[in-house]
Chains A and B, each alone.
Chain A
Amino acid sequence: MEYKMSRSLRSNLITYGIVVLFFVVCEILIATHILSYSLQGQLVPICAYVCMAISLNLVVGISGELSLGHAGFMSIGAFSGVVAAALVGGVAGNEPAILVISMLVGGLLAGVMGFLISIPVMRLHGDYLAIVTLAFGEIIKNILNNLYVGMDESGLHFSMNSESSLHMSQAGKVLLAGPKGAVGVNTIASFIVGILLVLFCLFVALNLINSRSGRAILAVRDNRIAAEACGINSMKYRMMAFVVSAVLAGMAGALYGLNYSSFIPSKFDFNNSIMVLVFVVLGGIGNIRGGMIAAAVLTVLPEALRFLSTYRMLIYSVVLIAVMLISNNEQARMVLRRFKNHFKKSRKKKVAPQVAVAGAGAASAKEDGAND
């Protein structure tokens, strides 16, 4: 028990450490003017997409359901976050505080939407579930494409027709303008809040996995019939993973939205959902740390390869294919494993003999079974 707790704890600490290290390195690079201006602009989107990868990993990796509409939750978070920031902005002056409040609002609304969507969606399994989440993602996008929100001194005005039907006073300001999206956004998103959000998402995801609810979610994923026979309500725990994931996606969306002065609803389309799914698959389904790193690298890659101009998408796809091939190649894995073992040898000396004995025992018992 002691050993296991420390193992999972150590793995979690490494994951947190990577995030903190990334932050420190970036801050140093910014301070020494090594990081180019365009790459600096990518820092907040990286944080947002890392959160998206963690969030989707909860559904795809931990709960074992393929969701193709995660950009929908991100957009709910982004647009509601913008509205909340405008509302709160008049009252409170402190930028990080406004950002945090709008992220909470974005997460809450995305969570409510996720709960409502999960009621019909979680009645399905496998491919059917994936298709329905895809449809809900598109529905959300199309609703936001027709949503007009304005704010004046009497409060918020909503319309599904046009800007003029908002009936605002002279001082009124349009916040969401249908297909033109969010306009005139006060860009208050900052890298440090982004990193804090990443840490929060990690905290939620990792703690959820290592808890009673998380075990139930894993049990339902591994064997639904056995989990139900153990008295676990499979619907409840699949919904739980979905809703927690939607909340995190909403918060990431709010961070993302408040980084741009304007953005359109079609930014959060099917391609965006697939892109996040690529992060998760590339980093290893169910591997939170891997998904995180993949999200960071793949978000920055198109920007970093800008000097290759027309060839950059070619390189991007070559990188994708290469990673897929290498991670599925037994020989490449062996090289990696040998490298890993070499690295770990000194650290594991005390524990290794025990594990080896237990492993050998299990193996020999297996052989016995085969001989029978």
Chain B
Amino acid sequence: MTKEEKQVVSAPESQQSGIKARRVNTKMVPLPSTSIVPERDLGKEPILECRHLGIDFGGLHAVEDFDIAVGRTEIAGLIGPNGAGKTTIFNLLTKVYQPTRGTILLDGQDLNNMSVPKVNQSGIARTFQNIRLFSNLSVEDNVRIGLHNQVKCSMLNGIFRTPQFFKSEKAFHKRALELLDVFDMADLAQVSAGSLPYGAQRRLEIVRALATEPKLLLLDEPAAGMNPSETSDLMDSILKIRDEFQIAIMLIEHDMDLVMGICEGIAVLNYGKIIAKGTPEEIQNNPEVIEAYLGAQADASAEKEA
């Protein structure tokens, strides 16, 4: 009895004693998911689970109570108005920002205290809203950098050109071309990445992310700046990537045709909080979502028509 009382008392105390104490105890037991996971992934452990994930910037709660589960081969969408905190969530998942609260479980593994490269090595790859390619390097070298942890060759092997170096370079070259082939970019391998057209740069970023052999691929506005035909190609490619690599994909996108077309589960974010989760149909008919996000778009198109 007394023991139980003590536990009850100590819980709020440890919460008050600052961020550090809270971080130590952030590992939580995975609960059954509240979001919709596609049927084929139902029996399995979700690839990504966030529990009460949150971050404060000063007094601002940029993200609060972000609870989500993503199935092993699910294509999940994250939508919401500008400034809702979508990219912040990607930055939390990849540990560019350290969460103030909550847990991120990747395939059951707690990402607590992991650095950005470690998170990538354990299986989350991402692309960026503002493209971040190594624009001075060739397309192939960009992919080779993505393959960094897949093919090993130590510095001394590289400097003294041992047989192992040539073997690894061969492996780099072969794998890079295979990956570029997914987007039919193999013939552009020697072109400088900075001179590619915008759409191709976005595709190259996806290839580079895929090269790190992720279990979960985060795409931050993959269709931004693309025309409708490029967007529909991109939708095919995303489905192809999911089927071929058997990975989960989570994407942020403002293009509703793309989101509603390929996403199986969608979370809507507003002011850092999830206001709705569900299938595309459920989201489209959710009054709260229509008011906060989709409706605004309908108004805008109505104004244009008028």
Contact = CB atoms under 8 A, between A and B. Distances in A.
B117 A231 contact: yes
Contact of B173 (A1, A203, A228, A234): A1
Nearest to B132: A226
B132 A231 contact: no
A343 interface: no
A4 interface: yes
Contacts of A240: 155
A4 B137 CA distance: 12
A368 B199 CA distance: 11
B203 interface: no
Interface string A192-235: 00000000000110011011111110110011011111111110
B138 interface: yes
B235 to A, nearest CB: 19
Contacts of B148: 212, 215-216, 219, 230-232
Which interface residue of A207, A234, A240 has the most chain B CB atoms within 10 A? A207
Nearest to A236: B117
Interface stretch (A22-30, A31-39, A110-118, A358-366): A358-366
Given A219-B145, A222-B135, A229 B165 contact: no
B89 to A, nearest CB: 15
A227 B165 contact: no
Interface residues of B, number: 54
A211 B126 contact: no
Contacts of B135: 222
Contact of B145 (A227, A365, A372): A227
B134 A226 contact: yes
A208 B137 contact: no
Contacts, number: 123
Given A4-B138, A222-B135, A229 B121 contact: no
Tell which of B128, B155, B172, B227 has the most Cβ of chain A within 10 Å.
B155
Contacts of B115: 228, 233
B197 A226 contact: no
Given A212-B148, A228-B116, A229-B116, A1 B189 contact: yes
Interface stretch (B51-59, B156-164, B258-266): B156-164
B153 A358 contact: no
Contacts of B197: 362, 365-366, 368-369
B100 interface: no
Nearest to B146: A230
Interface string A43-67: 0000000000000000000000000
A229 B120 contact: yes
Contact of A3 (B155, B190, B209): B190
B141 interface: yes
B196 interface: yes
B133 interface: yes
Given A226-B132, A368-B197, A208 B159 contact: yes
A218 B190 contact: no
B208 interface: yes
Contact of A365 (B134, B155, B200): B200
Interface in B158-184: 158-161, 165, 168, 172-173
A203 B156 CA distance: 12
B161 A226 contact: no
A372 B120 contact: no
Given A1-B189, A211-B153, A228 B120 contact: yes
Nearest to B160: A207
Nearest to A364: B197
Contacts of A372: 227
A227 B196 CA distance: 19
A219 B152 CA distance: 16
Nearest to B155: A213
A229 B137 contact: no
A369 B131 CA distance: 15
A225 B115 CA distance: 12
Contact of A212 (B125, B168, B200): B168
Given A207-B158, A230-B146, A232-B117, A212 B172 contact: yes
Nearest to B189: A1
A222 to B, nearest CB: 4
A302 B165 CA distance: 43
Contacts of B149: 231
B270 interface: no
B137 A218 contact: yes
A232 B165 CA distance: 19
Nearest to B141: A215
Contact of A211 (B165, B196, B211): B165
Nearest to A354: B190
B149 to A, nearest CB: 5
A100 to B, nearest CB: 17
Give me the 9 closest cross-chain CB pairs, A-B, nearest first. Answer: A211-B158, A365-B197, A231-B120, A226-B132, A228-B116, A213-B155, A222-B134, A219-B145, A231-B149
Given A207-B159, A225-B132, A226-B134, 10 more contacts: A215-B145, A215-B148, A218-B137, A219-B134, A225-B116, A229-B209, A230-B120, A234-B117, A365-B197, A368-B197
13 contacts: A212-B152, A213-B155, A215-B137, A215-B148, A216-B145, A222-B134, A222-B136, A222-B137, A229-B96, A229-B132, A229-B209, A231-B121, A232-B145
Interface of A: 1, 3-4, 203-204, 207-208, 210-216, 218-219, 222-223, 225-234, 240, 244, 358-359, 362, 365-366, 368-369, 372
Interface of B: 94, 96, 115-117, 120-121, 125-126, 128, 132-138, 140-141, 144-146, 148-149, 151-155, 157-161, 165, 168, 172-173, 188-191, 195-200, 208-209, 211-212, 225, 227
